[in-house]
A = this chain, B = another copy of it.
Amino acid sequence: MDALKQAMAAAAVDVEAMLVRILTAEREAEDRLIAAMRYAVLGGGKRLRPFLVLQASGLFGVAHTAALRTAAAIELVHCYSLVHDDLPAMDDDDLRRGRPTVHKAYDEATAILAGDALLTMAFEVLAHPDTHSQPEVRCALITALARAAGAHGMVGGQMIDLGAEGRDMGIGEITRLQQMKTGALIGFSCEAGAILGRAAEAGREALRGYAHDLGLAFQIADDLLDVEGTAEETGKAVRKDAALGKATFVSILGPERARSQASLLAEQAVTHLAIFDKSADLLRRTARYVVERRV
């Protein structure tokens, strides 16, 4: 196993342990809700966003617990968004990470509530003193997460995406949609390291640039997997975009140009990291990983 995969696997184990600690049922009556939350969160996944938090935090000497709690909070938000996006009224997906989606394994009402509770919990985790000794840093994290995840970020992007079925969209429009839908949270994952480490503006700016290109490269790769991957590989239904008549980077550029665009963005992402020494090497490799991955 190469160094990146090893580091990602180790980070996933750490994050999983933190998530288990957070998602403990305090009282019996909420058992079904907490069980659904655990099902949504502990079902594996690449843990890419937590990995980015940990790596970006590493650049600024952030304490491990602080980085790990922040990573867990972002993963809670990511998982809540998957639970809600999979609902019948939204993308109507039955399969996620190779298992039935939450509303299939439980029911729709439980899926809605589990998502709500996961989102709420993310903010509780960030507000806790264990996440950072300085409350202004915790508030900065909360502000940035709310912006990335809310009406002008992830949720707004999903809203535009739902209206995009069968509609003609240009590359500019798709780029903006994806920048909101997936890019904003990936961006926050990288920036969180800089916030936790009270980094100078140059470091923050570099990570923002990196995350921007990484997020787009990641999305193009996702679109390619939807066209070229199998449900076995990806753990979710494929060929959905074409079936819904959704414009994607691949439907507009074609697979060849989409692939080279993704590679270009990955290279471009790496150039933003020039101000960092070899401590940013795994972030550099991550840029290549996101375009080469098969899951």
Contact = CB atoms under 8 A, between A and B. Distances in A.
A202 interface: no
A176 B30 CA distance: 12
A83 to B, nearest CB: 10
B124 A155 contact: no
A188 interface: no
A89 B116 contact: no
Interface of A, secondary structure class, is: helix
A30 B109 contact: no
Interface in A28-87: 29-30, 32-34, 37, 80, 84, 87
Contact of A149 (B120, B136, B163): B120
Contacts of A27: 152
Nearest to A116: B155
A268 interface: no
A117 B149 CA distance: 8
Interface string A75-119: 000001000100101100000000000000001111011011101
Contact of A156 (B33, B128, B155, B160): B33
A146 B122 CA distance: 9
Contacts of A33: 151, 155-156, 159
Contact residue range for chain A?
35 or more
B162 A142 contact: no
Contacts of A124: 142-143, 146-147, 150
Contacts of A129: 139
A160 B27 CA distance: 12
B30 A160 contact: yes
A226 B143 CA distance: 39
A174 interface: no
A171 to B, nearest CB: 16
A142 B123 contact: yes
Interface in A131-155: 134-136, 138-139, 142-143, 146-147, 149-152, 155
Contact of A151 (B37, B109, B143, B146): B37
A142 B116 contact: no
A156 B117 contact: yes
A168 interface: no
Contacts of A163: 32
A120 to B, nearest CB: 4
Interface of A: 26-27, 29-30, 32-34, 37, 80, 84, 87, 89-90, 107-110, 112-113, 115-117, 119-121, 123-124, 126-129, 134-136, 138-139, 142-143, 146-147, 149-152, 155-156, 158-160, 162-163, 176
16 contacts: A27-B152, A32-B159, A33-B151, A33-B155, A33-B156, A116-B119, A119-B120, A121-B146, A121-B150, A123-B123, A126-B142, A129-B139, A134-B135, A135-B135, A135-B139, A138-B139
